[in-house]
Each structure stands twice: as structure tokens, then as C-alpha cells.
Amino acid sequence: MYKDNREFMKALEAAGELVTIDQEVDWDMEAGAIVRKVCEDKAPSPLMNKIKDYPGHRYLGAPLANYRKLAIAMGMDPDSSIPEIAAEYLERTNREPVKPVIVEKDQAPCKENIITGDDVDLFTLPAPMVHEGDGGRYLATWHFVVTKDPDKQEVNWGMYRQMVYNSKIMTGPLFPFSGGGQVFHGKYVPRGEAMPFATVIGPDPLGAIAGSAPTAIPEPEYTGQLLGKPVELVKCETVDLEVPANAEIIIEGYILPDVSIEEGPFGEYTGYRTSPRDTRTVYQVTAITHRNDPITTISNMGVPTDEGQLLRSFTLGLEMDRMLRNQGIPITGVYMLPESTHHLVVVGVKPLYTNIAAQIAQTVFGSSLGMWFHMVVVVDDKTDIYNFNEVLHALSTRCHPVNGIHVWQGVGTPLYPFLSAAERKKSVGPKVLFDCTFPLDWDPLSEVPRLVSFKTVYPQEIQDKVLANWEKYGFTK
Ligand SMILES: Cc1cc2nc3c(=O)[nH]c(=O)nc-3n(C[C@H](O)[C@H](O)[C@H](O)COP(=O)(O)O)c2cc1C
């Protein structure tokens, strides 16, 4: 496993998943355009060694935007299948949380350069102009923000985008339903106190996964579970927080309780620019520390597939899997499609009783995960939830348009592109279930239609014979 992003990059390179660009790249949209095309082509991650106006700085784009990169981040064979990666992820995160350890400053590469006081200038960092039409330059797109609950002392790492406003201020949406947002809006704002924060840019890949995952476990411990050992943290310079010692860049400061400033718009994970320029949270910066030749990580959100879509789909789906199994519902698995920008989740179930699909949909929509998606497709245990062809076939042939589609009004994020501006303001979130299981009261022999496929209509000995002879017939495996 990797102690930092640099070791991870070496593993990406060894697997053919990293391209080094030595020619100069402009921070003003050129870098963003490269990363966008990489996401759309599922290409290797670009390491950009020379950034216009920023000698000594580097960019890493799209660090985790396909399943091969995710498998590498997990220390697995790059060609592991999605169910294999999912099983490994669940196995590790079902273990006991692993507490982090604190290391001294001289063992922390993120302290190689320390800038405080009047010398702090965010424009010394190469914040990219990610897309044309963005409201500004976004420094934090693949990172996490460290905060602490002042009463419970519980630490939260959350990935919340941040735009540079001036040399000492950043701004971004810190939604009240996020981990950090709940503490800020629920505790610091009512007390009129500024909340300490530290933004970690270029964390190790598992830390970034934890920062974007919907977990109730404090993320330093969750990262320890994924890593299989304690994460090494170091104390901040100007706030009472700890950050990963091996990260690339740390930005410390305070989130102000009594002001908001304009932020956005920004290309978002839905593949659209949905939220308008609006007043959002203010991050006042008191210190910047960074490694030598620091690498700013860039995620470019847009149409699929960027790492936010891939990882949020992956972790949201697996949290649902854990929740449904804990409720004793006989599911066979959960797969959220990254191509749906984590709006559509497929659940496989052994349909033991009538309306089990409605029970599944109500459970997941009613949970804290439910606001991030609005489509649930329930298929039976014989359908491969990871096989898009099988799922689409089930949806088109087993879901009764009147009896099998159920619609609810629920809660959603303000980012759904299909909502009107008025609906977005009210967090309206319509939900829909597609029940693709045949009714249980149909007679299995005379009423349930027989699925006609290689797996279902040939005797086992014929299937075995054909498979054994497949290459002899002249086909490739
Ligand atoms: C690239 C990226 C950017 C994100 N930006 C934001 C954001 O600006 N605000 C927000 O509330 N959530 C944002 N999210 C979603 C959160 O990271 C996600 O909800 C995560 O679970 C937050 O951690 P938390 O549960 O501790 O709040 C973003 C996710 C990704 C992958």
C-alpha cells in the first residue's frame, strides 16, 4: 500500500495508467481540458510537470477516474473485477476502525515549506481554471477539508470544492447535510464562532476515497481500515487540527460564521453547470504548507466518468449494501452506475415476499444516503447487477409500466438538473422505483415467462461441452 500520492503514481505508471507531460501546460483551461478528455476517454492520468507561471509546481489529473485506478489504489491487481474490488472494500471497512498516529514535524513532508501571516498568498499555488464559464479558479477539486466537532472532538474529512476568491480567502458550498457542514451550521454559526479547517490537497488515494465516502466512521480511522494500518498525521501550524503528514499541500484557516461571498458556477458531477453563482461559505486562510515540487491534484467534473462519479457511486452503493444486509433484507448485491452520475442504483434481491422492491426503495431513499440519488432498479437474484445488458433487459421486459413503477416525493440536493430553480431551492427530490421482479403469485411454470439465454435454456452438460470446446470451435476466450 502507498504512503502517499507519489508512490501511488509510480504504481499507476507501472500499470500503464499514467502519462507524463513535460511540455508546458497552461493553468487557464488547458490543464482542465486535458483532464476532461482523459475522463471521457478513460485514459491514463496525466502528470503535468511544467505549469505556465508556476515553476516548481506540478499537476496530477484524474487520479482515480476508472476501476483499474481504483483497484491499484486498493493495492489490488489492476484487472480485478468490480465485484472483487467491492468485496475487498466491504471486507476491509467491516473491520475495526484503526486510530491514526501523530508524527513529528520533521517526519512530515507536507512541512517542507511553511508560509504563515502576511506571506500567505493563494495565488502562489497553481489553482486551475478548470472549465470555461467557472466562476473562478478552483484550488480544491480532489482533496478533503478537515474539521472537528468542538463538543465530541470527532474529526471529519469531507471533499467540498473551494474556489480562490482573493490571496487569503477561498469560498465554496458547505451543505448543512454534509459532515463538516452539519457541525459548522449546527454548532459554530449559532455560537458566532469561526470553525478551524485544513484543506488537504494531494492526499494519498485511500484518504481521498474516505473524504468523498458517505461513512459515519471518522475518516482518519476509515482510511486506516482501508490502509490496514494507522494513517500518519501531523499537527497544523495555526489551527488545532491534524493533517496527513505525506500530503502535497495543506491550507489552514478558519471558516467564518457571519459572512458569505459569491462562488460558482462550476461544472458539476451531474455533467451540467446547475447551481448558479450564489453566496457561499468563506474560508479565511492563515497558513499554507507544502512539499517541495508540490503536486496539485485535479478532478474535472463533467459528463461521465470522473473520479467523483466513480467513487461516490462505488461507496454509496456499498453503504447501501451494508445497510440492507444489516436490516436482514435478502439482497444479492448493490451496484450504483457511475454512468448515471450516481443517480441510479441497481439492487439484486431474492424475491421472497411481495413488495420487497418497495421495501428496498423506501429503506435506501429514507436513509441519509437517499438525497444523492433518485432511481432504484430492483432485479431478481438471477440477474447480474454488474452486467448493463442484463439490467437493461430486465428493466425493459419485467417492469410493468403501471404496476412496477412507483413514484415518491422526497428530499434531494439542489444539483439535480431536471428540477426547476424553485424546486431546487426547496430541496425537492422526486424518487422512482422500477420493480423488475415478476409477481410472486404467478405460477413459475405456466405464468412466469421462461428467460431464453445460454445459461437458462440448455442442460448443464451441453453448456459445459460448448464451453470446453469454445476455443477448439475457433472462437477466442
Ligand atoms: C470532487 C467532489 C467534490 C465535491 N464537492 C462537494 C461540495 O462542494 N459540497 C458538498 O457538500 N459536497 C461535495 N461533495 C460530496 C461530498 O464529498 C460527500 O458528500 C462526502 O461524503 C462528504 O463527506 P461527509 O459525509 O463527511 O460530509 C463532493 C464530492 C466530490 C467527489
Instruction: Please check the confidence at residue 1 and state whether its pLDDT lies above 90.
Output: no
Residue 368 forms part of a structural domain: yes
Instruction: Kindly report, residue by residue over 303-323, the tens digit of the pLDDT.
Output: 999 999 999 999 999 999 999
Average pLDDT over residues 446-472: 97
Distance 129 CA to ligand 1 centre (A): 20
One domain, residues 377 and 398: yes
* pTM for this model (two decimals): 0.96
| CATH number, domain containing residue 395 | 3.40.1670.10
For a mutational test of ligand 1's pocket, the pick from 174, 212, 299, i.e. the residue with the most ligand atoms closer than 8 A to its C-beta, is: 212
Radius of gyration of the chain (CA): 24
Amino acid letter at 123? F
Residue 451 forms part of a structural domain: no
Among candidate residues 298, 329, 356, the one where a domain is terminated:
298
Looking at ligand 1, which atom is closest to the CA of residue 219? 26
Ligand 1 pocket, CB under 6 A: 141, 156, 158-161, 172-173, 175, 178-181, 212-214, 299, 308, 312
Residue 468 forms part of a structural domain: no
Residue 36 forms part of a structural domain: yes
In the numeric block, which cell numbers belong to residue 55? 515553476
Decide: residue 268, CB within 10 A, 0-12 exposed, 13-18 middle, 19+ buried: buried
Instruction: Kindly report, residue by residue over 236-266, the tens digit of the pLDDT.
Output: 999 999 999 999 999 999 999 999 999 999 9
Distance 136 CA to ligand 1 centre (A): 19
Residue 380 has a pLDDT of: 97
> The domain containing residue 370 runs over which residues?
307-438
Residue 425 has a pLDDT of: 87
Residue 435 has a pLDDT of: 98
For a mutational test of ligand 1's pocket, the pick from 131, 178, 201, 312, i.e. the residue with the most ligand atoms closer than 8 A to its C-beta, is: 178
Residue 154 has a pLDDT of: 96
One domain, residues 334 and 265: no
| CATH number, domain containing residue 31 | 2.30.110.10
Instruction: Please check the confidence at residue 396 and state whether its pLDDT lies above 90.
Output: yes
- Per residue in 423-435, is it b (16+ CB within 10 Å) or e — as a string? ebeebbbebebbb
Percent of the chain with pLDDT over 70: 100
Instruction: Kindly report, residue by residue over 354-370, the tens digit of the pLDDT.
Output: 999 999 999 999 999 99
Instruction: Give the number of domains in the chain.
Output: 2
